[in-house]
Amino acid sequence: MPYSWHLTDAGRSGPTVFRFCLYLLVTLQDGVSLMATCESPAASGHSSSQASLLHAYWPDTAKYLVLTGYFLVLSAAYFLVGSRGLFNLQMYAFQFDVERCILAVAFLYLVAFALPSRTNKVSDYFLWLHAAVPIVPTLVFFAFSGGSIPFLALAIGAFIGIRLLTLPGAILAIPGVSTSSPERAVWIGIFILYVLIIAGGDYSSIDFSPENIYLNRAQIAESQSSYFEYLHTNLAKALLPFLLVFYYARSRWFPFLATLICSLGVFLVSQHRAALFFPLLALLCFAATRRSKRAGGGNLVAMLTVVLTIGMIFTLSDMTLLLGDIIIRRTFIVPGALNFEYFSFFNNNPFTLFSDSKLSFGLLPRVYQEQIPYLIGYQIGLPGAHANSSYLGSGYQQAGVVGVLLYVLVISATLHVLDGIGNRMSNHCFVFAVCSPSLFWLIDSSDLPSVYLTHGLILATAILWYWAGYLRLYFAGLDSTSDTPKTRPINPPAAR
């Protein structure tokens, strides 16, 4: 793997890259809007034969254009962050290689071919999110830093496997249980978790300064009990996202603001950025998919392009290198790189065979005495770093290709359940948005069992399933106990 720098001066190249990204962002948004317009029956009804042809082939063409634009913007962001000196490791060295770029683009179009052209269910939205993080970033990492063909084959093979296992077919509508509002129960759950979080720990030096987040978080973690991790993650990635999207969908702004304030409070007492970013992620996913549901996949990629642009603005303007570092490096580049490091390490060392998983209940002898994330952190030159990996790296850690295949089967089964809940609710966008924090963590930097138990996927799925009946009526504007509209008709029919 080449580890040499070939970078131009940041002061000369930065503004050019930035202007290019803004131009490309506008182009992407125009393309997504056109795709949404072409989906309109009214627009297609008055179109000419050429417009009809565009209507027929545009969704398939658009996904190639959207992913190509996203690949270019992400490449520019990677170049910019590297040139600003935020990467101190050789594994992140930026080196332009024509042969690797050609291979990366070929794999990119294979991913685009596998993507659904129209998004009609939760699993379709997930596939677009999965392509954006970490598949395309992995291709960028391969093109400009490192990686290997077998690793790309594993990552893209897992992606295509999920696609094949969630192909269109009969979606079973999973019935809900309750037709009463979930608000009171969810708020009670938030209150209980909030009290348990603040019940212990030393909060004397807590502040909102981004530079002190990791220092304060370590202090809190040392003073908290062992269940602290389960509390704040389920709160930040299940309960708070549910309420935020629930209120936003019906423009209920007062409880919406109260939920935002609660999210800030969770950040204050936990010092985990997840309490701020993941409720916002759920909100952005819902906003990106609800307006143009069938073009929601392209809208998701456009949303992430905006996030990348914001990170580049932070980096170029020197407003705060920390936010630019988190947005670009930690969210997009590092997950793909760490997946490869896991793949490389366990290609030459024994698999863990789930011996380090809490699901083994200590019955299996540990293969490694050190925790795997710390072991990988040491391998990449960061002693003490907790180098988490997504389901790709952690699945390969457990049992190689068999472990990744097992994780793919579990993920596909989960997506079928979420598709069924979305079908019962008649709102796949809402189901995807509520589960997006957990699903994002699954494809970004967490092992599969941890996503279900620690990061809120089971809790979010249980809430959506239990109140699916009420939520169906809620989004239809009906009462929870009957099909009577909440508002009377403006001009009721005259009595005969």
Stretch (H or E) spanning 278: helix 274-290
Which of 4, 65, 22 shows the shortest CA–CA distance to 298?
Answer: 65
* Residue environment code for 156-190, b if the CB has 16+ CB neighbours within 10 A, otherwise e: bebbbbbbeebeeeebeebebeebeebbeebbebb
Give the whole-angstrom CA distance, residue 314 versus residue 87: 16
Write out the two tokens for 83. Answer: 């040139």
pLDDT at residue number 77: 86
First-last CA distance in the chain: 84
pLDDT at residue number 207: 55
Give the whole-angstrom CA distance, residue 280 versus residue 267: 13
| CB burial of residue 151 (10 Å; 0-12, 13-18, 19+) | buried
Write out the two tokens for 46. Answer: 């008055």
Length of the chain (residues)? 496
Bridge partners (DSSP) listed for residue 485: 478
Give the whole-angstrom CA distance, residue 432 versus residue 282: 8
pLDDT at residue number 18: 41
| 3-class DSSP state of 387 | coil
Domain map (residue ranges) of the chain: 10-176+282-475
pLDDT at residue number 356: 84
In terms of pTM, does the model score above 0.75? yes
User: 3-state SS of 45-69?
Assistant: HCCCHHHHHHHHHHHHHHHHHHHHH
**Which residues of the chain have a pLDDT value below 70?**
1-58, 82-92, 169-170, 200-228, 270-271, 292-295, 318-325, 361-362, 478-496
Question: Please, are residues 299 and 32 in contact by the beta-carbon 8 Å criterion?
Answer: yes
3-state helix, strand, coil in the chain (%, to 5): 70, 0, 30
Give the whole-angstrom CA distance, residue 413 versus residue 411: 5
Which of 294, 297, 327 shows the shortest CA–CA distance to 73?
Answer: 327
Give the whole-angstrom CA distance, residue 216 versus residue 116: 43
Give the whole-angstrom CA distance, residue 335 versus residue 1: 18
| 3-class DSSP state of 177 | coil
